[in-house]
Amino acid sequence: MVSKKVELFVGLFAALGIAALLMLSLKVADSGISGNGKTYQLYAKFDNIGGLKVRSPIKVGGVVVGRVSNISLDAEDYTPVVTLDIYAEYDNFSEATSVSILTSGLLGEQYIGLLPGFIDESVETLVSGDYIEDTKPALVLEELIGQFLFSQGSGD
C-alpha cells in the first residue's frame, strides 16, 4: 500500500516536472500558448536584411511593440519585404516613422527598431497595409570588416 502511494507521488512529481519544463521552453521561445492579442500589419522594403528572422522582435526604445511575421521578395525589384505585425495598442505611428534593422550587442540577434516620427495634423497615421518608406538596412559585420581591410591595404 505504501509503495503504491510513493509511486503515485513520484508519477505526479514527474508530470509536474515535465509541465514546468514545457512552460519554461515556451517562455524562453517567447511563443506562449496563446497569442499576444490583436495586431495590424505594416510593410517595409530593405536593401539588405542581414540575419533578420521571422518572429524577431520589433522594438521602440527597447520596448517590444510587435514581431516580424513574414519575409519575402518583391516580385518587381527583388528587394526583401518585411511584414511587421504591430500590437493593436500601438496604433499611432505616423508616416514619418523610420525603421532600421539593429543588432543586440556585437554578435547578438537582429531585430527591427522603429523610430516614431512626429505627429501633427499635416502627417497621417499609418494604418494596416501601409508601407514604411524610411528604411535603413542591416549592417553586416563581414562587409564592414572587408571594407576596413581593403581600405587599410590601399594606403601602402
Classify 48 as helix, strand or coil.
coil
User: Does residue 48 form part of some domain?
Assistant: yes
Q: Output DSSP code: residue 106.
A: T
* Residue 84 structural domain: 39-140
Do residues 13 and 68 share a domain?
A: no
Q: What is the pLDDT of residue 109?
A: 85
d(CA 117, CA 103): 21
Report how many domains make up the chain. 2
Model confidence over 19-45: pLDDT tens digits?
999 988 877 766 544 455 789 999 999
Q: What is the pLDDT of residue 77?
A: 92
Model confidence over 102-126: pLDDT tens digits?
988 777 788 999 999 877 777 888 8
Do residues 49 and 76 share a domain?
A: yes
User: Does residue 119 form part of some domain?
Assistant: yes
**Paired strand residues for 91:** none
d(CA 66, CA 148): 35
Do residues 25 and 47 share a domain?
A: no
- 42 vs 148, residue with greater confidence: 42
Do residues 61 and 116 share a domain?
A: yes
Do residues 1 and 67 share a domain?
A: no
Do residues 69 and 18 share a domain?
A: no
Q: For residue 43, give the C-alpha cell.
A: 510593410
Model confidence over 75-90: pLDDT tens digits?
999 999 999 999 999 9
Reply yes or no on whether the pLDDT at 62 is more than 50.
yes
Instruction: Quote the mean pLDDT of the chain.
Output: 85
Check: pTM over 0.75? Answer yes or no: no
Cα separations (Å) of 129 from 5, 6, 42, 46, 61? 59, 59, 5, 17, 23
